[in-house]
Structure formats: C-alpha cells, structure tokens
A and B are shown apart, each in its own frame.
Chain A
Amino acid sequence: QQQVRQSPQSLTVWEGETAILNCSYENSAFDYFPWYQQFPGEGPALLISILSVSDKKEDGRFTIFFNKREKKLSLHIADSQPGDSATYFCAASRTGGYKVVFGSGTRLLVSP
C-alpha cells in the first residue's frame, strides 16, 4: 500500500518536444505529491508539487496533472531542453507526516 510506481524507466525525447512522465500510487491517504529532479553527482531537488485537492499545477514549462480517482499523476515537460536531462522522482506523502515514499525514477534524456 506504500508503493509509488513510475513509468517509463527511461525516456528519450527531442529538444522542443513534450516529455510525459507517469506516476501512480496505492495509498489513498497520500495527499501531497512532489516531483524531485536529480542531476548526476547531486542530490534530488524539489521541482514542483501538487496537493490532492488540485487536478493541475503549472510552473513554467512543468505541469503536473493529477487524477485522484485513478490514483495517477503525470509530469509534463513542455519544450524540453537538453538541460532537462536528469532523473525525475515522483513521491507521495501525507501533509503533516514525515514519511515520503519515492518512486524508482524516470531517467529523461533530451537530445538536441
């Protein structure tokens, strides 16, 4: 019940395309869903997050779409740039709690 699943494991897109990263979860008690971005040699860093009361969150080229009924969410990266090449982790937690469950990550490569 604690699992967070991500797909695909790796994704390659051309510069300028929209990359779509998928995530699903099992525990309906989760209500906070951050996405973390990790570059090689660095720790993950918060990219964008959404609360379960919303179905969409935008921040520049990054958009989260959230479907509470299906327990699914996705991260869309519009106009992908080579600098977006990184591993993206979907995570889930309960607001006020401390346990953050991470997915296994999607490795994104943006080719120029």
Chain B
Amino acid sequence: DAGVTQTPRHEVAEKGQTIILKCEPVSGHNDLFWYRQTKIQGLELLSYFRSKSLMEDGGAFKDRFKAEMLNSSFSTLKIQPTEPKDSAVYLCAGGDQNTLYFGAGTRLSVL
C-alpha cells in the first residue's frame, strides 16, 4: 500500500502565478478530498469528489481554486491566480467509510 501520494512536496510561487498540485489516491477509495491547513484556520475543506464526481467545491474557495479528478487514480488542484494568503499546506485525502487517508501534503509559499 503506497498510500496517498502528493506532488510536489514544496512549491514556491510568485503572486499571480498559476500552480497545479497533484494527488494520487489509494486505489479503491471512492471519496477524494482536498483540504487546506493553516495554523490560524486549521483544516478547511476545499473540494470533495465521490466516484470522480464533484460533490462540493468549497464555497468561498470557488473563485480561484479548481479541483479536478481526471480518473480514479489522479486528481489536481489548480490555484489561479495565486495570492500570498494562499500560503499553506494543501492536503489530499482518500475516504473510506468515514475514515480519511491523508497524503503528506504540499507546502505552498506565495511570495
């Protein structure tokens, strides 16, 4: 079991850039989540997919954040354009019976 794989582990972007974060979930999990983690806000849900269909697109994050699930084994999170306040750790998680299996995350720094 390779677990959930996220790439890159670290990303540095300039304000206004477009960045794409990648996630390879564990095979067999029907649910896929993108979370943002910061010290102040904690864990915030960005997007949720069930069986590759987008079920929730994160409300306040809709305008510059777009998650896609191209197939059952690959998902991306695009942030366009990036802003300094987007600096955070972005976590992808597969879901199975109410349990979340998180990747190690991508630490994004926006200058």
Q: Do A and B come from one complex?
A: yes
Contact-size category for B: 20 to 34
With an 8 A cutoff between CB atoms, is B95 at the interface?
Answer: yes
Number of contacting residues on A, CB 8 A? Answer: 22
Contact residues, B60-111 vs A (CB, 8 A): 91, 93, 95, 98-105
B42 & A32 in contact (Cβ 8 Å cutoff): no
How many A-B contacts at CB < 8 Å in the complex?
44
Given A98-B50, A98-B55, A98-B95, answer yes or no on A43-B45 (Cβ-Cβ < 8 Å): no
Given A102-B42, A105-B42, answer yes or no on A43-B99 (Cβ-Cβ < 8 Å): no
Pick from B45, B101, B102: contact of A99, CB under 8 Å: B45
- From A43, A96, A98, name the one whose CB has the most chain B CB atoms within 10 angstroms: A43
Q: Mask for A72-112, Cβ within 8 A of B = 1, else 0?
A: 00000000000000000100010111111011110000000
Q: Using CB atoms and an 8 Å cutoff, list the residues of chain A in contact with chain B.
A: 32, 34, 36, 41-46, 49, 89, 93, 95-100, 102-105
